[in-house]
Structure 1
Amino acid sequence: MKALVLAGGRGTRLRPLTHTSAKQLVPVANKPVLYYGLEAIRDAGITSVGIIIGDTGADIREAVGDGSQFGLDVTYIPQEAPLGLAHCVLIAQEFLGQEPFVMYLGDNFLVGGISGLVDAFRVGGYDAQILLTKVDEPQFFGVAELGPQNEIIALQEKPAHPRSDLAIVGVYSFSPAIHEAVRAIKPSARGELEITEAIQWLIENGYSVHSHMVTGYWKDTGRLKDILECNRIVLELIEPDVRGTVDGLSEITGRVILEPGAVVENSILRGPIVVGADTKVTSSYIGPFTSIGSNCLLQNSEIEYSIVLDGSSVHGVSRLAHSLIGRNVEVSCAAGVPNTHQLMVGDHSQIQVRA
């Protein structure tokens, strides 16, 4: 069995961060989201992986390499434009051959792995198996309608009036029958080959399409609040590991990971948090559910429930929360009068200031 990982999306909902980096490489607890998916694939016993890449392909290649760091053999498959999930299957047919495969959206975050899905697919002998989860607002998702044996009898794409509350999670298992389906469908109104239409084609042509319910935690990491929530979930599971340097004036409570080379001086750290290698924290407070990347500087500041990426500095800021700070960013307190906010902000940014 093979795996097809989709890592070619543009990540418009996470701009401006994704103007310069792939959305699949945004870190959760200082590890890219994509890595969690690749590890789940490996843990399910799959080693041959094709990765669909687009405009950010160079970043994905640099981060993943040949896959050996995960115990995988990776093949890269360029996609000329984001033409739909079914189009990804279409262009990957040479790599996939006639083997069954798992298709995994690289920006999905799934606690608990996919071993259960893969095992059920192998035992059941289905032509397609779709991972589902209950959601509060199904109108914003692809939705599945089930029959009495948990078979999928119909799919709806972001319906105004959903027939169920079962959303389609971005993990699928397919037999080679899917190749006939993706060749049979036409582009949708938005110009894409939709995987929901390909699966509906399988249903209408008598193929067996089954459901599998998420047993752990799932989140599409396309929005800021989702990234922060995933960060919280992972940090809930960490064990303390202090390998950096902490002076006698500092206080560390709870589950804290301090990576090698990190320095904490005259500061308070309340876990769960992770502080990256060679980061310096001076006269500051880091509150729960915060991930600080490597080579950062936090000085005379307070931060909690946030993510700070590598190489950034926060200096003299009284309180930051619910924030995602990109790489090599400087956040500082303005000096002097009048009492104003001074900003240099790129396109598609979101800024909230207290008046």
Structure 2
Amino acid sequence: MRAMILAAGRGERMRPLTDHTPKPLLVVGGKPLIVWHIEQLARAGITELVINHAHLGVQIEEALGHGTQWGVSIQYSPEKVALETAGGIAYALHLLGSAPFLVINGDVYTDIDYASVQLTQDKLAHLVLVDNPVQHPEGDFCLHNGLVEAEGRHKLTFSGVGVYHPHLFESVTKGEPAKLAPLLRQAMQTGHVSGQHHHGVWHDIGTPERLLQLDIALKKQQA
């Protein structure tokens, strides 16, 4: 299975840190955020990677190269203007192939076992959900008997990690911005989105304060 790391976001909430450094290259626990993902993917045996970028994207290519130092192969999907999640994925489909592929938000930190995230043949998407963090108490979707549903009483938060079938993006015009949530909600209506609840480590690195908190916690673990 191939994997795509989403790295094209501007990171407005992370300013001024992201004025000169793309968000995925911000350092936490001694290494860039995106490197944590690359190392985890390599350990899971997922070595064919695609990374999209827009804001200061050249820095990402210069920092990561072809991925050889981590035992992976990296291809890049540069975007002149950030195409949002679904638009960015659709734009990179020619690099991802015709089989289901894993997608990871580049601005999260997690211990999710990427090898455990799998898509069954009759589904278009499989999402990893987590407990709602303080900054997102309302959650996103519900998980019921292995299926993800748009509405319900006990919502969980989408972790930004999922496996998708290319067919999910058939309606997206290549090169046009498009959001992922409407595509997922449409697929949920027909029972084509499965999911799992991750109970381990997950952090959304959305602000400089959360980046600092995670950095301190990781350095304590490493001490």
Could you state the TM-score of these two structures normalised by the residue count of structure 1?
A: 0.58
Larger proportion of helix = 2
Whether the 8 Å CA contact 1:141–1:168 is kept in 2: the answer is no
| Unaligned 5+ runs, structure 2 | none
In structure 2, the residue corresponding to 1:237 is in which secondary structure? helix
Aligned with residue 153 of structure 1, among 145, 149, 152:
149
1:55 to 1:45, Cα distance in 2 relative to 1, 3 A: same
Aligned with residue 198 of structure 1, among 164, 183, 186:
183
Larger proportion of strand = 1
| Aligned residue runs from structure 1 range 268-307, under 5 A | none
Q: Which residue in 1 is equivalent to 2:202?
A: 218
Q: Distance in 1 between matches of 2:90 and 2:165?
A: 14
Q: Distance in 2 between matches of 1:139 and 1:32?
A: 24
| Aligned residue runs from structure 1 range 193-342, under 5 A | 193-204=178-189, 206=190, 208-238=192-222, 255=223
In structure 1, the residue corresponding to 2:168 is in which secondary structure? helix
Q: Distance in 2 between matches of 1:166 and 1:99?
A: 27
The structure whose RCO (Cα within 8 Å, separation 6+) is larger is 2
Q: What is the CA-CA distance between 1:142 and the residue it aligns to?
A: 5.8
Q: Distance in 2 between matches of 1:142 and 1:80?
A: 32
Q: Which residue in 2 is equivalent to 1:265?
A: none
1:193 to 1:115, Cα distance in 2 relative to 1, 3 A: same
Identical columns (%)? 27
Whether the 8 Å CA contact 2:86–2:169 is kept in 1: the answer is no
Q: Distance in 1 between matches of 2:11 and 2:213?
A: 18
Q: Distance in 1 between matches of 2:146 and 2:134?
A: 21
Q: Which residue in 2 is equivalent to 1:166?
A: 156
Q: Which residue in 2 is equivalent to 1:16?
A: 16
Q: What is the CA-CA distance between 1:139 and the residue it aligns to?
A: 5.0
Q: Which residue in 2 is equivalent to 1:87?
A: 87
In structure 1, the residue corresponding to 2:217 is in which secondary structure? helix
Whether the 8 Å CA contact 1:89–1:182 is kept in 2: the answer is no
> Bigger radius of gyration, 1 or 2?
1
- Residue 60 of structure 2 aligns to which amino acid in structure 1? I
| Aligned residue runs from structure 1 range 177-188, under 5 A | 177-182=167-172
Q: What is the CA-CA distance between 1:203 and the residue it aligns to?
A: 2.2
**CA offsets per residue over residues 213-272 of structure 1, 9 Å max, x none?**
12321111121221122213322332xxxxxxxxxxxxxxxx3xxxxxxxxxxxxxxxxx
Q: What is the CA-CA distance between 1:11 and the residue it aligns to?
A: 1.1
- For the aligned residues, what is the CA RMSD? 2.3
- Residue 124 of structure 2 aligns to which amino acid in structure 1? D
| Count of matched residue positions in the alignment of Structure 1 and Structure 2 | 221
Is residue 2:131 matched to residue 1:134?
yes
Whether the 8 Å CA contact 1:133–1:214 is kept in 2: the answer is yes
Q: Which residue in 2 is equivalent to 1:336?
A: none
- Residue 187 of structure 2 aligns to which amino acid in structure 1? L
Q: Which residue in 1 is equivalent to 2:40?
A: 40
Q: What is the CA-CA distance between 1:127 and the residue it aligns to?
A: 2.5
Q: Distance in 2 between matches of 1:78 and 1:140?
A: 34
| Unaligned 5+ runs, structure 1 | 156-161, 239-254, 256-355
In structure 2, the residue corresponding to 1:236 is in which secondary structure? helix
Q: Distance in 1 between matches of 2:10 and 2:137?
A: 19
In structure 1, the residue corresponding to 2:206 is in which secondary structure? coil
Whether the 8 Å CA contact 1:50–1:75 is kept in 2: the answer is yes
- Residue 51 of structure 1 aligns to which amino acid in structure 2? I
Whether the 8 Å CA contact 1:4–1:51 is kept in 2: the answer is yes
**CA offsets per residue over residues 158-210 of structure 1, 9 Å max, x none?**
xxxx8434001111111222232545xxx8xxxx5111111112223x35211
Whether the 8 Å CA contact 1:110–1:218 is kept in 2: the answer is yes
Q: Distance in 1 between matches of 2:160 and 2:166?
A: 19
In structure 1, the residue corresponding to 2:98 is in which secondary structure? coil
In structure 1, the residue corresponding to 2:59 is in which secondary structure? helix
